[in-house]
């Protein structure tokens, strides 16, 4: 059986982020599976609105179409057996609906229940209780207008209505964690957790008199709560603890975070690596004793945390959303937005670094059990067969 799959991701490589990594890994995994199964084949075409910016798509095992015209997008949808959309982007959703194509929407955010997609209330950057679903649309307007003009604000709010309606009528909604499934409350929803390639274990982490290496990995954006980590680092610094802090990644908040680090007197403790990829990225993350994810929003899953757990590393995360679900009991947690509880967890590790290896071993076991790449690929294949032509 041959199945033609259109995989649509509005933002994609070479942009950096969880969605980009996950969709690329899924597409590559499907091609690997097809190569190993002579009787069955899934032909993957990935469509994105992101320009290549020098990236050589010909080296990929699947076809990539960038910034298609409307007619080209319609043609690709019509020729597909199944359309898989990473996050509910309105245009391909509507086109696939009118073309009567089986559609799978994989939800990496909350765009079907929140105009800004992250359930973060803009005026005070607090977690949104769900204003759109509660029909408090005035709150949604106030929230979105913090960062955009009135026209864009209204567009965001208004477009959420057809986006959610269309998600109710697709073949299957895929949630990346059970938390996301509970939050979205969409029909025909199933959870498929992202799977990772098995990587080698880190060498046993020990201070050996050297400063503990603490790090954040990801985009430098408001919802990630990085100022909370900086405040906790200041408390550690004031107490005279020995540590180094690395922020691995880049984003719109970098300049503000650099200014905040200077204000807190952390210049000698902190490193901003900027965007890293490939071996440089892997080495920077591997060098960390602890990965901290201080998210202010209900993180849907937390790819960086999964990756650190797979290598047997220690993670400390905000006890919220899919992030908390992913870690389970295989890491340390703190109250979201609470600097003091994050500081307390970091202090425990610095004072007793032997727990890094102990908890890391548990994290590795959990990652191997729950974040299996082969299972992730097979679950998607099963899904495509269910909704595709028979």
pLDDT tens for residues 133-162? 999 999 999 999 998 999 999 999 999 999
Query: Which residue bears the tokens 């864009």?
Result: 152
Q: Higher pLDDT residue, 276 or 91?
A: 91
Q: Distance from CA of residue 68 to its chain's centroid? A: 25
Out of 21-25, 100-104, 207-211, 375-379, least confident range:
207-211
328 three-class SS: coil
pLDDT band at 202 (very low <50, low <70, confident <90, very high): low
Residue 199: the pLDDT is 75
Q: Would the pLDDT of 285 be above 80? A: yes
CB-count burial class (<10 Å; 0-12, 13-18, 19+) for 28: middle
To the nearest 10°, report the CA torsion of 378, 381, 382, 388.
180
Strands (E), the chain: 2-8, 41-48, 63-66, 82-86, 103-107, 120-121, 126-127, 172-175, 189-191, 212-217, 243-248, 270-274, 290-293, 314-318, 332-334
Q: Average of pLDDT values for 323-341?
A: 96
Domains of the chain by residue range: 2-195+372-387, 212-370
Structure tokens at 248: 């691995």
Question: β-pairing, 172-175 with 189-191?
Answer: parallel
Q: What is the mean pLDDT of residues 165-186?
A: 98
Q: What is the pLDDT of residue 203?
A: 52
Is the pLDDT confidence value at 62 over 50?
A: yes
On the question of pLDDT at 204 being above 60, the answer is no
CA distance 66 to 120: 30
Predicted confidence at residue 367, as pLDDT, reads 96
pLDDT higher than threshold 90 for residue 320: yes
Weakest-pLDDT range from 70-79, 195-204, 288-297: 195-204
- Mean pLDDT of the residues in the chain: 94
pLDDT at 207 over 70: no
DSSP character string of 85-117? EES--HHHHHHHHHTT--EEEEESS-TTT-TTS
Query: Is the pLDDT higher at 171 or at 147?
Result: 171
What gap in Å lies between CA 57 and CA 302, rounded to an integer? 27
Closest Cα to residue 24, out of 34, 14, 37, 39? 14
CATH class of the region 212-370: alpha beta
Average pLDDT over residues 235-259: 96
Task: For residues 218 and 216, give the distance between their C-alpha atoms in angstroms, rounded to a whole number.
Answer: 7
**What pLDDT is attached to residue 205?**
47
Mean pLDDT lowest among 150-154, 266-270, 278-282: 278-282
- Distance CA(334)–CA(344), nearest Å, equals 9
d(CA 200, CA 93): 40
Residue 333 near residue 158, CB atoms below 8 Å:
no
212-370 has the same fold as 2-195+372-387: yes
287 has pLDDT over 60: yes
pLDDT at 201: 67
> DSSP string covering 141-195, please?
HHHHTTTS-HHHHHHHHHHHHHHHHHHTTSSEEEESSHHHHHHH--SSEEE----
Quote the CATH superfamily of domain 2-195+372-387: Glycogen Phosphorylase B; (3.40.50.2000)
In the numeric block, the tokens 């190569």 are attached to 35
């Amino acid at each position: 059986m041959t199945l033609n799959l259109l995989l649509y991701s509005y933002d994609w490589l070479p942009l950096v982020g969880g969605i980009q990594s996950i969709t690329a890994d899924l597409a590559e995994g499907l091609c690997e599976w097809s190569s190993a199964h002579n009787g069955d084949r899934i032909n993957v075409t990935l469509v994105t609105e992101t320009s290549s910016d020098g990236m050589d798509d010909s080296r990929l095992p699947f076809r990539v179409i960038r910034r298609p015209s409307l007619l080209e997008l319609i043609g690709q949808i019509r020729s597909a057996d199944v359309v898989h959309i990473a996050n509910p982007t309105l245009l391909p959703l509507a086109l696939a609906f009118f073309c009567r194509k089986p559609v799978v929407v994989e939800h990496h955010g909350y765009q079907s229940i929140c105009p800004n997609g992250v359930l973060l209330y803009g005026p005070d950057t607090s977690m949104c209780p769900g204003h759109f679903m509660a029909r408090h649309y005035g709150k949604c307007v106030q929230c979105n207008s913090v960062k955009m003009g009135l026209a864009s604000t209204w567009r965001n709010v208004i477009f959420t209505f057809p986006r959610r309606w269309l998600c109710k009528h697709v073949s299957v909604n895929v949630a990346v964690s059970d938390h996301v499934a509970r939050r979205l409350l969409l029909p025909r929803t199933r959870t498929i957790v992202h799977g990772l390639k098995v990587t080698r274990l880190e060498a046993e982490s020990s201070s050996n008199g050297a400063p503990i290496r603490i790090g954040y990995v990801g985009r430098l954006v408001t919802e990630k709560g990085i100022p909370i980590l900086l405040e906790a680092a200041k408390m550690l610094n004031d107490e005279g603890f020995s540590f180094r802090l690395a922020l691995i990644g880049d984003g719109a908040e970098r300049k503000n975070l650099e200014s905040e680090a200077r204000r807190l007197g952390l210049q000698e403790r902190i490193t901003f690596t900027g965007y890293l990829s490939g071996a440089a990225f892997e080495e920077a993350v591997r060098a960390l004793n602890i990965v901290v994810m201080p998210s202010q929003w209900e993180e849907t899953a937390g790819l960086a945390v999964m990756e650190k757990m797979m290598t047997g590393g220690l993670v400390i995360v905000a006890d919220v959303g899919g992030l908390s679900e992913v870690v389970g009991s295989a890491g340390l947690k703190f109250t979201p937005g609470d600097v003091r509880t994050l500081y307390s967890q970091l202090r425990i590790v610095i004072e007793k670094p032997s727990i890094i290896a102990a908890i890391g071993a548990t994290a590795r076991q959990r990652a191997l059990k729950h974040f299996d790449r082969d299972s992730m690929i097979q679950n998607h294949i099963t899904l495509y067969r269910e909704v595709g032509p028979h």
